[in-house]
């Protein structure tokens, strides 16, 4: 059975004994192991049922010297770090040869690093004085957890220590930017720090960086609830689907369709921050509800919504009406 605690010392001891610990971050909960403990890193892959070719993000304390791990940080990468760290931004750097266990980065020449903002995890990182790897604390392909209870539910048969830092204030995973190329960057995963903001911050000081955004992630499906999730490009088609279908539907949309009861409805916020905070939480509520399917209104295609749209597009499939 998992044990939920607020005791940072206990979390520190457990990590030092070579066991994984679930930790809070400002984005989602992570399943952490110290980067110098191969047994613990292996345990993280096993617990998540994660394929070994999906590299992990290293989480570092504020002001930790990156020179231990990386070579050649381009100017624009330095600017991003100064602007957004600690915070929900992961950067991909050129790895210093031999600096990490190849289990962490899949033996590639690059490594992903982030400096989380959550106070408890920063304190933990400061005390253990070693970076940690932390993939999201969910079984592979499923919804990331945003509360300690959600982690416990996903790993109910494991002897897992969960450091409880409350509900994650951001609610979706960090934005990932590849800064391993000196001349240009690529956004590999969208998040609440959006492409416009990144371009604005870099352009302010680094005129040589140009954006070439590539479709994020290699997996078509990810972040999935247990029940089928259908997304609709506009409210009216969602409303029509709810009228036509014979079954109960859990609805996440700007308005409540008249055919749907209050208990099976969550109002999608007009603010991307609030919508991100609610998204995974609501998908879990939907999974626990009596409705066998979930319908969501896809937010508009603009930079501040790109993180949420990316999650919905990967978690669901396009809803059809007749």
Positions touching Mg ion (CB under 5 A) are 136
For residues 276 and 170, what is the distance between their CA atoms, to the nearest angstrom? 6
Q: Is the dihedral of CA 236, 241, 243, 248 positive or negative?
A: negative
For residues 116 and 97, what is the distance between their CA atoms, to the nearest angstrom? 25
Residue 27 engages ligand TXA in binding (rule: CB under 6 A): yes
Which of 110, 237 has the CB closer to ligand TXA? Answer: 110
Residue 108 engages ligand TXA in binding (rule: CB under 6 A): yes
Residue 30 engages ligand TXA in binding (rule: CB under 6 A): yes
Beta strands 229-232; 317-318: pairing state: parallel
For residues 64 and 232, what is the distance between their CA atoms, to the nearest angstrom? 44
For residues 151 and 29, what is the distance between their CA atoms, to the nearest angstrom? 7
122 makes contact, choosing from Mg ion, ligand TXA, none, with CB < 5 to 8 Å by partner type, with none
Residue 25 engages ligand TXA in binding (rule: CB under 6 A): yes
Residue 176 engages ligand TXA in binding (rule: CB under 6 A): yes
State the binding string over 76-105 for ligand TXA (x if CB under 6 A, else -): --------------x-x------------x
Q: Quickly tell me which residue has 């996903």 as its tokens.
A: 154
Count of chain residues binding ligand TXA (CB under 6 A): 25
Which of 57, 298 has the CB closer to Mg ion? Answer: 57
CB 198 within 8 A of CB 80: yes
56 makes contact, choosing from Mg ion, ligand TXA, none, with CB < 5 to 8 Å by partner type, with ligand TXA
Residue 54 engages ligand TXA in binding (rule: CB under 6 A): yes
Among 2, 55, 131, 165, binds ligand TXA (CB under 6 A): 55
Q: Could you tell me the two tokens for 85?
A: 């760290």
Which of 92, 249 has the CB closer to ligand TXA? Answer: 92
The three-point CA angle 72-75-78 to 5° equals 85
24 makes contact, choosing from Mg ion, ligand TXA, none, with CB < 5 to 8 Å by partner type, with none
For residues 3 and 82, what is the distance between their CA atoms, to the nearest angstrom? 36
In sequence order, the 6+-apart residues with CB closer than 8 A to the CB of 179 are: 73, 74, 76, 77, 80, 91, 92, 93, 185
Residue 135 engages ligand TXA in binding (rule: CB under 6 A): yes
165 makes contact, choosing from Mg ion, ligand TXA, none, with CB < 5 to 8 Å by partner type, with none
For residues 33 and 133, what is the distance between their CA atoms, to the nearest angstrom? 5
CB of 152 to Mg ion, least distance (A): 17
Q: Which stretch binds ligand TXA (CB under 6 A): 67-75, 133-141, 263-271, 290-298?
A: 133-141
CB of 288 to ligand TXA, least distance (A): 23
Which of 136, 282 has the CB closer to Mg ion? Answer: 136
Q: Could you tell me the two tokens for 102?
A: 């190849």
Among 79, 143, 160, 188, binds ligand TXA (CB under 6 A): 188
27 makes contact, choosing from Mg ion, ligand TXA, none, with CB < 5 to 8 Å by partner type, with ligand TXA
CB atoms within 10 A of CB 208: 11
Strand-pairing partners, residue 70, are 95
- DSSP string over 232-285: ESSHHHHHHHHHH-SS-EEEEESS--TTS-GGGEEEPPSSHHHHHHHHHHHHHH
162 makes contact, choosing from ligand TXA, Mg ion, none, with CB < 5 to 8 Å by partner type, with none
Q: In the complex, which residues of this chain contact ligand TXA (CB under 6 A)?
A: 25, 27-28, 30, 54-57, 90, 92, 105, 108, 110-112, 114, 116, 134-136, 173-174, 176, 188, 217
């Amino acid at each position: 059975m998992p044990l939920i605690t607020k005791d940072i010392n206990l979390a520190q001891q457990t990590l030092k004994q070579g066991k994984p610990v679930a930790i809070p971050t400002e984005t989602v909960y992570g399943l952490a192991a110290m980067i110098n403990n191969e047994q613990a890193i292996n345990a993280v892959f096993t617990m998540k049922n994660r394929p070994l070719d999906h590299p992990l993000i290293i989480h570092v304390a504020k002001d930790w010297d990156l020179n231990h791990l990386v070579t050649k940080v381009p100017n624009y990468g330095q600017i991003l770090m100064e602007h957004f760290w600690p915070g929900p931004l992961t950067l991909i750097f050129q790895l210093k040869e031999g600096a990490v266990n190849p289990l962490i980065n899949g033996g590639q020449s690059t490594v992903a690093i982030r400096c989380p903002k959550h106070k408890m995890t920063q304190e933990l990182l400061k005390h253990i004085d070693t970076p940690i790897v932390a993939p999201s604390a969910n079984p592979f392909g499923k919804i990331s957890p945003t509360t300690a209870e959600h982690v416990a539910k996903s790993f109910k048969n494991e002897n897992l220590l969960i450091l409880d830092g409350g509900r994650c204030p951001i609610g979706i995973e960090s934005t990932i930017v590849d800064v391993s190329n000196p001349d240009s960057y690529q956004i590999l995963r969208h998040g609440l720090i959006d492409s416009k903001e990144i371009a604005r911050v870099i352009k302010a000081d680094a005129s040589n960086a140009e954006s070439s955004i590539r479709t994020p992630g290699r997996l078509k499906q990810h972040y999935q609830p247990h029940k089928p999730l259908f997304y609709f490009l506009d409210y009216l088609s969602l409303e029509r689907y709810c009228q036509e279908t014979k079954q109960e539907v859990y609805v996440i949309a700007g308005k409540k369709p008249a055919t749907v009861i209050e208990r099976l409805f969550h109002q999608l916020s007009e603010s991307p921050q609030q919508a991100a905070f609610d998204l995974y939480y609501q998908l879990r509520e939907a999974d626990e509800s009596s409705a066998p399917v979930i319908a969501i209104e896809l937010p508009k295609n603009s930079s501040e919504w790109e993180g949420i749209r990316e999650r919905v597009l990967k978690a669901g499939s396009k809803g059809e009406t007749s």
